[in-house]
Amino acid sequence: MAKKPPVYKNYIDGKWVASATGKTFPNVNPADTDDVIGYFQDSDERDVNAAVAAAKAAFEKWRLVPAPKRAELVMKLGLWLKENKEALARDATREMGKVLAETRGDVQEGIDCSLFWAGEGRRMYGETTPSELPNKFAMTVRQPIGVCALITPWNFPMAIPTWKMMPALVCGNTVVIKPATLTPLSVWNLVRGAEEVGFPKGVINYVTGSGRKVGNPLCEHPDVSLVSFTGSTEVGRQINLACAKDFKRVGLEMGGKNAVIVMDDADLELAVDGVLWGAFGTTGQRCTATSRCLVQRGVYKKFLDALVKRAKALKVGNGLDESTEMGPAVDASQLQTDLDYVAIGKKEGAKLLCGGKRLTGKKYDKGFFMEPTVFADVKPTMRIFREEIFGPVLSVVPFQTFEEAVALQNDCAYGLSGSIYTRDVNLAFRAMRDVHTGLFYVNAPTIGAENHLPFGGVKQTGNGHREGGKEALDLFSEWKAIYVDFSGTLQRAQIDTDRIVKVE
């Protein structure tokens, strides 16, 4: 008899509890829909209210814990992730589909993020600065904000939750995290680790459920001071509007339509490697995925021939098989979106060189598998050039001059990541300057961000805040300017400065 899938609970105020609705939803393996991983709480506003109340109460004590001590717990959690890396990676592959090598990297990013923020607990520097008045001291310090709502996506189910949670905690905030309904197990594992290493009750709270029943009330709750969201631009816009009426701080990391520029002088083998990995790693389900490839006409045909040959040879299958190179789409809806865009590209007149179909047969019928897909001769007016697909569909576009390539790269509503392959250092530096994105790579694909550098984009990719690196402090903490007057008299800034005795 098959083992019955477990039921996973919410974590509120240090306790694992069932939702107020009494309902659950299944978490299903996208490579094998017969594999039900578990059942998670189908929560609603009542559960959100309980979690926020717990976080608000815990904040009063947690904010007073010295930052280095808060950071020690974050370090312990990072080491717990390291101890359990393989099991956590297998859980992540099982629930979202990408291959084991990638989910191991996903967990490693969570480890690296935790250890980075453990160090930042001793480096949340403010400044001292001279006052314009005598016998007066001026400085700045960082302070926590309060209860932070963290809304995380399914494509990096361990890395992105740590990007948000670790700086929030080190800064002295408390959190309520809502994972994507497609990948609740990885965040459940993260919260279980936090419980095991000794985080105080109420500091971390975990509530599962839909965006409508959990995400919306979480964003609109009057006791939530900050919302950090990673997901689609459409949903991010709705969150921004919902938070605006209460002037909540909002961090948004949203869509991308990233392009690689391949110059005539590029190392073509390296460029093909990079574009293949950027376009089809994580089945194209990354905000930084290579969705557009701009190739100079001198190497256009040679590059395409090599790329298509390699794309056709990619092994697609269950990510738990170590030999698999590309896993499934995350669910039926995403697969259908990918197939719809293939139909759009064909209708618009783009040349389909390979892929474009759902994979069928005994190996594939229980999952959401699609062929790696390459379109050539794509024009900038086409929807497949302009719109985010979030799947294994690559558009290849020829260009004549460097200036044309930069114009094509920037002709986009998004501005997350960009890349150039060239041996010309002058062109590389011009591209670094002129491509309007938050991330840029030279002789590397559009994916591969490291967590000690700031991560985020421009235009409709985000709202200016950054995750990753010390720059995340500016999202998760408030500046306070402090003045200490030890003159023993009333000194009025900008008024009494003229009375100061001049040195002769």
Torsion of CA 204, 208, 209, 211, to 10 degrees: 40
- Report the distance separating Cα 247 and Cα 52, nearest Å: 18
* pLDDT (0 to 100) of residue 498: 77
- Say whether both 203 and 301 belong to one domain: no
- Say whether both 186 and 88 belong to one domain: yes
293 classed as catalytic: no
Residue 191 in any domain: the answer is yes
Residue 181 in any domain: the answer is yes
Residue 345 in any domain: the answer is yes
Residue 90 phi, psi (nearest 5) = -65, -40
Residue 72 in any domain: the answer is yes
Residue 7 in any domain: the answer is no
Mean pLDDT of 252-276: 98
Q: Is the pLDDT of residue 56 over 90?
A: yes
Cα 59 to Cα 111, 224, 416: the distances in Å are: 25, 11, 34
pLDDT band at 1 (very low <50, low <70, confident <90, very high): low
Residue 401 in any domain: the answer is yes
pLDDT over 70 for what percent of the chain?
Answer: 99
* pLDDT (0 to 100) of residue 248: 96
Number of structural domains in the chain? 2
- 476: how many CB neighbours lie within 10 A of its CB? 27
- Say whether both 209 and 271 belong to one domain: no
287 classed as catalytic: yes
- Say whether both 292 and 345 belong to one domain: yes
Residue 1 in any domain: the answer is no
Q: What is the pTM of this model?
A: 0.96
- Say whether both 280 and 337 belong to one domain: yes
* pLDDT (0 to 100) of residue 100: 98
pLDDT in tens, 300-356: 999 999 999 999 999 999 999 999 999 999 999 999 999 999 999 999 999 999 999
- Say whether both 383 and 466 belong to one domain: no
- Say whether both 216 and 315 belong to one domain: no
- Say whether both 169 and 285 belong to one domain: no
Segments forming the whole domain that contains residue 45: 18-27+35-254+462-481
* pLDDT (0 to 100) of residue 504: 46
- Say whether both 192 and 272 belong to one domain: no
Specify the range with the lowest mean pLDDT, choosing from 42-56, 142-156, 354-368, 489-503: 489-503
Q: Is the pLDDT of residue 503 over 60?
A: no
Average model confidence (pLDDT) across the chain? 97
- Say whether both 166 and 57 belong to one domain: yes
CATH for 143: 3.40.605.10
* pLDDT (0 to 100) of residue 370: 98
CATH for 342: 3.40.309.10
- Say whether both 239 and 305 belong to one domain: no
* pLDDT (0 to 100) of residue 502: 59
- Report the distance separating Cα 96 and Cα 329, nearest Å: 8
Q: Which of 171, 243, 287, 412 is catalytic?
A: 287
- Say whether both 272 and 399 belong to one domain: yes
Q: Which of 102, 109, 220, 253 is catalytic?
A: 253
Cα atoms in the 13 Å half-sphere on the side-chain side of 226: 27
pLDDT over 90 for what percent of the chain?
Answer: 97
Residue 13 in any domain: the answer is no
